[in-house]
Amino acid sequence: MSQALERNLLAAPTEAHQKIEIYSGVARLARAVWASEVKPVGARPTTAVMFCHPTANFLGHYALFGLAERGFGAIGLTTRYVGNDTSLILENCLLDIGSMVAHLRSLGYERIVLVGNSGGASIVPYYQAQAQHPTITDPPGGGPDLTTAGLTPVDGLVMFMAHPSRARLSSEWLDPAIVDERQPFERDPALDMFNPDNGPPFSAGFITRYRSAQVARNRRIAAWAEAQLRALRSPSHVPAGLDDLAFVVHGTGSDLRFLDGAIDPSDRTVGVTLWGPPQVANYLPAGISRTTTLRAWLNQWSIDHTNGDSLRWLPEIEVPLLVTSGTADPTVHPHMGRQMYDAAVKAPKEITSIVGANHYFEGQPELLTQALDHLADWVRRMVEHR
């Protein structure tokens, strides 16, 4: 492929850019949503393929130039939370997607495909469901009324190297051996995956107890966050205008699958994460759900509160769906793709695995080519010629 490509920076106003809005008593600053657009020089593609994630900077996403070479407008979106999910409200990400979808329509794109990459699956099916039939008026932790947002439906969805939900992933990575949130090294040896007495391999009984304890910890944190929010509503000791607080969650890299390849088996390398050995990643200053606020925990990390769960919304999706997973991904396992595929009961759907692919296709240009060839073929068959 030798055609020349051009790259543009797009800016679309969000609803918050048009006027200052008040969410939970806090004024959000006016801002624009930014994206990069890559397309063949001199061409006017009619289909845009937009990569989405709540916080990742996709302006230089690794798939953009490859998709542009295949004749599409390749779009890498950033939301207002780019690089920082500390105070993230998922519904605001939906507003940002909606602003860029409307902007792409104004540029002449006739069809738009949203790609939920990695954690992007938490917002892409949610967006389409709320664009089709909006129902959310009062998001957990506070946020916009989506029934008045006027979100525009898109023409296809792709779950690309994606897990179903940030809350689900966080819960499956929470370290249940931490017995005191203020003392991260005070640990229960009976629930410690790094205690060799427990494995690996881990017994079925240990796995059941461990998973149950992870869910219980997720719920304890959520209950504490709710209690703190109630306390913030007491005018006697809280400064006026303060309605949220930040906190740290230690031990967020303790997925049993990191050490035991027999759990949800795949081609992944055991004993590693995207951030190094799990024993270290578990405590690194930056990590999944590590630093957050009371409202953001309820909104995106609490399994009982969040709306950002693709398995909840995929049953409502009616546009074509493609699920693509890598069999050697250490974070997103093939069974997660199957969960999302099975959840889509109305959509024309396909699922594919890229054998040997890791999460970012690092050092695997031939596998990235395979994945993009399949994605491009699917868009042409299922979206453009539908």
pLDDT digits 0-9 by tens, 333-356:
999 999 999 999 999 999 999 999
Q: Omega of the bond prior to 40 within 30 degrees of 0, cis?
A: no
Q: How confident is the model at residue 24 (pLDDT cuts 50, 70, 90)?
A: very low
Weakest-pLDDT range from 10-19, 76-85, 301-310 = 10-19
Name the DSSP letter for residue 283.
T
**Environment class of 135 (CB within 10 Å of its CB; exposed 0-12, middle 13-18, buried 19+):** exposed
In this structure, of 29-33, 227-231, 381-385, the range with the lowest mean pLDDT score is: 29-33
In whole angstroms, how far apart are CA 55 and each of 5, 118, 120? 26, 11, 9
Beta bridge partners of 21: 28
Pairing mode, if any, of strands 47-52 and 73-77?
parallel
The position carrying tokens 């027999």 is: 262
The angle formed by the CA atoms of residues 357, 362 and 368, to the nearest 5 degrees, is: 55
Nearest CA among 276, 314, 291, 2 for reference residue 162: 314
CATH code assigned to 5-165+307-384: 3.40.50.1820
> Is the model more confident about 365 or about 18?
365
Quick check: 284 pLDDT over 50? yes
Please tell me the predicted confidence (pLDDT) of residue 386: 79
Break the chain into its structural domains and give their ranges: 5-165+307-384, 168-301
Tens digit of pLDDT for each residue in 350-385? 999 999 999 999 999 999 999 999 999 999 999 998
Q: Which tokens is 339 given?
A: 């969960």
- Identity of residue 331: T
Which pLDDT score is estimated for 2?
57
Task: Specify the pLDDT at position 29.
Answer: 44
Share of the chain above pLDDT 70, in %: 95
At residue 27 the predicted structure's pLDDT band, cuts being 50, 70 and 90, is very low
Beta-carbon count within 10 A of 60 CB: 11
At 239 the pLDDT is 83
Kindly state the average pLDDT of the residues 94-119: 97
How many CB atoms within 10 Å of residue 373?
12
Query: Using 50, 70 and 90 to split pLDDT, how confident is the model at 196?
Result: very high
pLDDT of residue 30: 53
Please state the rounded mean pLDDT for residues 291-320.
98
Calculate the average pLDDT of the chain.
93
